[in-house]
Amino acid sequence: MPITINGNGTVTGLSVGGLPDGSVAAADLATGVRGKIIQVVYGTHTGSVQTASANQTWTDVSPTVSITPTLNTSKIKISVGCMGVCENNNTIQQALMRQKASTWTSLFEQRTYEATDQPNPINFALTWVDDPYGGSGTVGQLDYKCQLRVNNDYTKCKWNYDGNVNAAAIMILEEIAG
C-alpha cells in the first residue's frame, strides 16, 4: 500500500513499526515540549531532628534526592520545605547542593538571623531552577541535598522540627524540558 499524506496531515498506508530504526530522532519530536514537566521525584525525612554538627560547619541534612534527566537541555526545578526552630542569637545558613559526576557544587545559599533567646520557628524553604548541562554533554544521575550551618550554639537550631514534634522535610525535583 502506498504512503499518502492527505490535505489535513493524516498519513495513511504506514503500518505500526513501519519506519526503519534511526529514521526519527528525538530532536524531530521535541518541538512544542519546551517547558513541560517530564518527570517528578521527591524525598522526605520524617525521622529524628537534625542539627549542625558543630559551630560554623556545613552539615548535610536529609533528604537527599536523585534524578536522571532525559535531555541535556532540561532544567531541574528544586523545591525544599522544612520547618525548624532556632534561638540564642544565631545566624543560620542553608545551602542547596548538587552532585554531578562525583563533584558537589553549591547552587544557592540563604541565611537568616534569630535575635532572641527563645525558640522561634524558621521556615527553611527555597525554590531554585538548575541548568545542570546547559544543553551539552551526556546526562547522568544528579543528586541534590541541603546543608545547614549555624554561627554559634549549634544545638539550639533544629532542622525538621516544629517546636513540639518532628516535622517533615521534603525535597521535590521536577525535570522541565528545555
Domains and CATH numbers, the chain: 40-176 (2.60.120.660)
Cell readout for 130 is 538548575
Residue 77, judged by CB atoms within 10 A of its CB (0-12, 13-18, 19+), counts as: middle
Cβ(57)–Cβ(89) below 8 Å: no
Work out whether strand 75-81 and strand 83-86 pair parallel, antiparallel, or are unpaired. unpaired
Cβ(41)–Cβ(65) below 8 Å: yes
Q: How far, in whole angstroms, is CA 64 from its chain's centroid? A: 9
Q: What is the pLDDT of residue 88?
A: 77
**What b/e readout covers 26-65, taking b as 16+ CB neighbours within 10 angstroms?**
eeeeeeeeeeeeeeeeebbbeeeebbbeeeeebbebbbeb
Q: What is the pLDDT of residues 40-66, one digit of tens each?
A: 999 999 878 888 889 999 999 999 999
For the sheet with 120-123, list strands across it: 120-123, 83-86, 157-159
Tell me how far apart the alpha carbons of residues 5 and 168 are, in angstroms, rounded to a whole number. 55
Least confident range of 10-14, 51-55, 98-102, 152-156: 10-14
Cβ(153)–Cβ(55) below 8 Å: yes
Confidence bin at 91 (pLDDT 50/70/90): confident
Q: What is the pLDDT of residue 115?
A: 76
Tell me how far apart the alpha carbons of residues 157 and 172 are, in angstroms, rounded to a whole number. 23
